[in-house]
Amino acid sequence: ALAGLGPFARPKDRPIVAAGTRDDEPGVRAAAARSLGAYRDDAAADTLSELLRGDGDERVRLAAIQALLRIDLPRAMVALVRAMDGDGHPRVRVAALHAVLAMVELELPDPPQPHQVDRWRKLTAKVKRIKFVREMLANAPPPGVQE
């Protein structure tokens, strides 16, 4: 049922989707994570980041990665970079790496064509966002440590 709510991202469904991220069943948490990605806001990114950081089930963390990729906000990038560097499961680290690469669109044309100027501008903005994320990570406390 949660999977069916995701494409609509209706505000009235958000409490149901959010509750699903706390369910005892990993399959329900994974479905809720995928659905939460449709909201594409900071609150969704924060909830998904918590799942990615703290859920014990690999499937849930992989679903959180998929959803964070859809959100495409700096907070999402921070969570993905942390997972890429620190998750205990290799599949999760690889999925996080692929998500980061997808977010920055690293398939660069060579040489750039005049009609691709807009794409290059977008790419430059994403590269700046990576620098911002690295700075945030450098200044952030380690995962699990609260300020």
- The residue ranges of every structural domain in the chain are 2-139
DSSP of 18-73, one letter per residue? HHHTT-SSHHHHHHHHHHHGGG-SHHHHHHHHHHHHH-S-HHHHHHHHHHHHHH--
d(CA 39, CA 9): 5
Q: How far apart are the first and last CA of the chain?
A: 38
Q: What is the pLDDT tens value at each position of the chain, 147 positions in all?
A: 555 555 556 777 788 888 999 999 999 999 999 999 988 888 899 999 999 999 999 999 999 999 999 987 888 888 998 898 888 888 898 888 888 878 876 554 555 555 655 665 666 666 667 767 767 666 766 655 555
Residue 75: enclosing H or E segment and its boundaries?
Answer: helix 74-86
What does R_g of the chain's alpha carbons equal in angstroms?
A: 16
Q: Tell me, what's the pLDDT at 108?
A: 44
Nearest alpha carbon to residue 48 among 59, 61, 58: 61
- For residue 145, what is the DSSP state? -
Q: Tell me, what's the pLDDT at 124?
A: 62
CATH superfamily of the domain spanning 2-139: Leucine-rich Repeat Variant (1.25.10.10)
Angle between helices 90-104 and 58-71 (to 10 degrees): 10
Q: Tell me, what's the pLDDT at 32?
A: 93
